[in-house]
Amino acid sequence: MKILLTAFDPFGGHSTNPALEAVNRVRSQSDGIEIIKKMVPTVFGDSIQAAAAEIDAARPDAVLCVGLAGGSSALCLERVAINIDDALIPDNQGNQPIDRPIVPGGPAAIFSTLPIKAMVQAIQQAGLPAQVSNSAGTFVCNHLMYGVLHHIQSQRLKIRAGFMHVPCTPEQTIHQPERPSMSLANITLGIEAAVAAIAAHETDILLTGGALY
């Protein structure tokens, strides 16, 4: 099985992006899983183009896009991407779209096709906090997730895809001690557990993962 991992370059004033650092540390080969890695720019449009080109060239069986969610305390498996860009901050090229559809006329939302519950469970079993998230935001991460899933749907590719948000590292929070963080080693471990769950589960398991509000 071949799995493509994508991660973003640093953005929004951060000097590093733990998603990228962790993806770079993930073992490239384990238990019959071949990992391909692709850095994508934190830029509306270009991020989807870069990931779609890599998908078309490498033809992976599954795609896991990884991004930073500053302020989150757990590894978050995104359930759904919505067809809207509404940027609170500019991307790395100064674009700041407001209420713009990602794909005009496209579906309002597209669900992850990865086994997110199994991935949450695998990460928890590795001893790390993980949860299903019901919103990937409206910045470049949601944009990429929607774009990748829409590309796969419209090209009728047999590829499962989805998105995982990761917390800041402790190094990023030294001046904001109240901000949650997770070490790079643990983020890497969590991604590896998630990857193993993708390979082990063709379909998802039935496990509570909803939210009351």
Q: Which is closer to ligand PCA, CB of 140 or CB of 195?
A: 140
Residues in contact with ligand PCA by the rule CB under 6 A: 8, 11, 17, 19, 42, 67-69, 137, 139-141
Least distance (Å) between residue 61 CB and ligand PCA: 24
Q: Which is closer to ligand PCA, CB of 139 or CB of 146?
A: 139
Cα separation, 153 vs 169, whole angstroms: 34
Q: Residue 31: CB partners within 8 Å, gap ≥ 6?
A: 196, 199
Least distance (Å) between residue 208 CB and ligand PCA: 25
Please identify every residue annotated as catalytic. Answer: 78, 141, 165
User: Can you read off the two tokens belonging to residue 59?
Assistant: 């033809």
User: Can you read off the two tokens belonging to residue 100?
Assistant: 């713009």
C-alpha distances (whole Å) from 96 to each of 8, 106, 163 are: 17, 21, 22
Least distance (Å) between residue 29 CB and ligand PCA: 25
Q: Which is closer to ligand PCA, CB of 4 or CB of 69?
A: 69
Strands (E), 21-147: 29-30, 33-40, 62-68, 75-78, 80-82, 109-111, 130-133
Task: Output Rg (C-alpha) for the chain, integer angstroms.
Answer: 16
> What φ, ψ does residue 158 adopt, rounded to 5°?
-95, 70
Least distance (Å) between residue 60 CB and ligand PCA: 20
Nearest Cα neighbor of 162 from 82, 85, 80, 84 is 80
Q: Which is closer to ligand PCA, CB of 33 or CB of 136?
A: 136
Least distance (Å) between residue 138 CB and ligand PCA: 8
> What φ, ψ does residue 166 adopt, rounded to 5°?
-120, 155
Q: Which is closer to ligand PCA, CB of 112 or CB of 121?
A: 112
